[in-house]
Amino acid sequence: MKELEERIRRDGVVKPENVLKVDSFLNHQMDVELFRKMAEEWKRLFTNEKINKILTIEASGIGIACIAAEYFHVPVVFAKKAVNVNIDGEVYSSQIESFTKKRIYNVVVSKKFLNPEDNILIIDDFLANGCAVMGLIEIIQEAGATLSGVGIAIEKGFQIGGKLLRESGIHVESLAIVDGMNPESGEIYFRSQP
Amino acid sequence: MKELEERIRRDGVVKPENVLKVDSFLNHQMDVELFRKMAEEWKRLFTNEKINKILTIEASGIGIACIAAEYFHVPVVFAKKAVNVNIDGEVYSSQIESFTKKRIYNVVVSKKFLNPEDNILIIDDFLANGCAVMGLIEIIQEAGATLSGVGIAIEKGFQIGGKLLRESGIHVESLAIVDGMNPESGEIYFRSQP
């Protein structure tokens, strides 16, 4: 998606250790006008998929998932990063490792909000090693629901996540795929997509 | 807002210790069609306020804040609950105590995203003792920005937060104010609002 790539080039900051900061428009300050265009694009890319629910993970997936949900006319469920007193009853859970936070945590979804009839689109801001998405897929499988696709804002194409997911037959659509970054020059190389 | 009150009556669950669970439509599963109607109502209620940015707090404020931002045509900034490697440079911070999680944590906002020219609308899902909102107000004051108003989905009118904020002259608009709940019958009593 050209507009997202241009925005990443303009406002993204390349840091050492393959960190790409996009906190001025995607995951700390959020440009909802851009989110609308991203949502339109996901709607176009997943138009042939059956989707009745969007699943994301707190916190930075929630904004883009909610705007996407307006275009798909479905509810959003977000996986929570810890069990707390507001999630009673039973939950589906999995463990994921955060690339940027370098720690492992549990993610949970109340069993009330996922069921075998659901056809689910996962939405998240980043795809790198794929841990967060794999965790959400585990939860979908636990629930006996169907995964219809995975919509990602920015994929780090030089990490393994996207390749693993696509090779297992999952319909993955990343709006921008970064194949390399140069922390010294700040250059970002995008994979060309149809 | 009648539609929100009706939804709370229908799908909210009253628990002991003044806990109101609305996780089927507000803060775990999210009904974005309802969020749009809430956003329209905030837009109407704050129509005379100067607003160029919405501030909320992760995680459950993000969805409603993003949908509201579409109606106000402004960006959203969400306060994060811990310093991590993705927030470099300086941050504004404050401490808040979670009513439901019964613990104290730091919230931070990057200094890049708040400045003295900003006129800010705070959006959050719940207002109870007001700690979260007070923490965000502290951050706004640190930044030298102006608070234009506070938009809340559900206020617990029997707790002190709303009263304190209104008495200090802040423009608070809660779309539903719960003045009492009966955990045995499940009844919820709403304050009548103009």
CB B183 within 8 A of CB B14: yes
Chain B residues whose CB is inside 8 A of the A69 CB are: 30, 32
Chain A residues whose CB is inside 8 A of the B108 CB are: none
- For residue A5, give how far its alpha carbon lies from the nearest alpha carbon of chain B (Å): 19
Q: CB contact, 8 Å: A94 with chain B?
A: no
Q: CB contact, 8 Å: B104 with chain A?
A: no
Identity of the residue numbered B174: S
Among all residues of chain A, which has the CA nearest to that of B103?
A84
- For residue A127, give how far its alpha carbon lies from the nearest alpha carbon of chain B (Å): 15
Query: Average pLDDT of each block of 10 consecutive residues along chain A (194 residues)?
Result: 98 94 97 98 98 97 98 97 61 82 84 97 97 97 98 98 98 98 96 92
Task: Give the number of beta-carbon pairs within 8 Å between A and B.
Answer: 134
Question: Is A116 in a helix, a strand, or coil?
Answer: coil
Residue B169 DSSP class: T
The pLDDT assigned to A145 comes to 98
Identity of the residue numbered A49: E
pLDDT in tens, chain B (194 residues): 999 999 999 999 999 999 999 999 999 999 999 999 999 999 999 999 999 999 999 999 999 999 999 999 999 999 998 755 455 558 999 988 776 666 788 899 999 999 999 999 999 999 999 999 999 999 999 999 999 999 999 999 999 999 999 999 999 999 999 999 999 999 999 999 98
B28 forms beta bridges with: none
Chain B residues whose CB is inside 8 A of the A59 CB are: 58-59, 62, 78, 80
- Residue from the list A31, A59, A112 with its beta carbon closest to the beta carbon of B24: A112
Contact A66 B66 (CB under 8 A): yes
- Residue from the list B23, B29, B36 with its beta carbon closest to the beta carbon of A86: B23
Q: CB contact, 8 Å: B87 with chain A?
A: yes
Q: Report pTM.
A: 0.95
Q: CB contact, 8 Å: B90 with chain A?
A: no
B53 forms beta bridges with: B120
H/E segment holding residue A139: helix A131-143
Q: CB contact, 8 Å: B83 with chain A?
A: no
Distances (CA, A) of B175 to A25, B14, B38: 28, 18, 7
Chain A residues whose CB is inside 8 A of the B67 CB are: 66-67, 70
CA A94 to chain centre: 16
For A157-160, which contacts have Cβ atoms below 8 Å and span 24 or more sequence positions?
A: A157/A191, A158/A18, A159/A18, A159/A127, A159/A128, A159/A129, A159/A130, A160/A129, A160/A130
Q: With 0-12 CB in 10 A as exposed, 13-18 as middle and 19+ as buried, what is A122? A: buried
CB A77 within 8 A of CB B24: no
Q: Name B151's Cβ contacts closer than 8 Å, sequence gap at least 6.
A: B42, B45, B46, B68, B121, B122, B123, B124, B173, B174, B175
CA nearest neighbour of B193 among B32, B63, B44, B92: B44
Evaluated on CA atoms B101, B102, B105, B107, the torsion sign reads positive
Q: Which of B27, B30, B34, B73 to mutate to test the interface with A (most CBs of A within 10 A)?
A: B30
Distances (CA, A) of A18 to A15, A99, B26: 6, 10, 35
CA nearest neighbour of A36 among A80, A72, A10, A74: A72
Q: CB contact, 8 Å: B28 with chain A?
A: yes
Q: CB contact, 8 Å: A79 with chain B?
A: no
Of chain B, the percentage scoring pLDDT greater than 70 comes to 94
Contact B78 A30 (CB under 8 A): yes
Give pLDDT tens digits for B132-153.
999 999 999 999 999 999 999 9
d(CA A106, CA A15): 27
H/E segment holding residue B60: helix B60-72
Distances (CA, A) of A109 to A119, A158, B19, B92, B122: 16, 30, 19, 31, 27
- Residue from the list A85, A101, A112 with its beta carbon closest to the beta carbon of B100: A85
Q: Is A144 left (phi over 0), alpha (psi -120 to 50) or beta?
A: left
> Which residue is listed with tokens 């993955």?
A172
Q: CB contact, 8 Å: A142 with chain B?
A: no
Contact A73 B33 (CB under 8 A): yes
d(CA B1, CA B6): 9
Q: CB contact, 8 Å: B190 with chain A?
A: no
The pLDDT assigned to B194 comes to 81
